[in-house]
Amino acid sequence: TQLLEQSPQFLSIQEGENLTVYCNSSSVFSSLQWYRQEPGEGPVLLVTVVTGGEVKKLKRLTFQFGDARKDSSLHITAAQPGDTGLYLCAGGRYSSASKIIFGSGTRLSIRP
């Protein structure tokens, strides 16, 4: 059974601090997505990484795919209250949704 573990599960930090969220698996994924979900809304796609070692930046968010394509990290620089939400990683082997495995999520709270 494929399993994507995210850590930490919960994180509450002060505005302006940096943070890193991890997504780990023993399985190799052809691609990995990060989503952010706000209360009462559906997840919104942030980024897709497909190449081992790939790094993508989205403003203050930096996403990295592990060299072996088994893990990924999300780093936020100078966190802002607007970054608050549930961050989900999802790994896929094929394009079929059933082959997309979601992590349990990291709930991030940024205090003003």
Partner 1 sequence: KAGVTQTPRYLIKTRGQQVTLSCSPISGHRSVSWYQQTPGQGLQFLFEYFSETQRNKGNFPGRFSGRQFSNSRSEMNVSTLELGDSALYLCASSLPAGDGGELFFGEGSRLTVL
105 binds partner 1 (CB under 8 A): yes
Pair 72, 63: CB distance under 8 Å? yes
Nearest to 20 by CA among 51, 59, 60: 60
Q: Smaller CB distance to partner 1: residue 12 or 18?
A: 12
Binding mask 29-68 for partner 1 (x = CB under 8 A): -xx-x-x----xxxxxx--x-x------------------
Give dist(CA 31, CA 35) in Å, integer.
13
CA-based nearest residue to 73, from 20, 33, 28: 20
**Site membership for partner 1, residue 92 (CB under 8 A):** yes
Binding site for partner 1 (CB under 8 A): 30-31, 33, 35, 40-45, 48, 50, 88, 90, 92, 94-100, 102-105
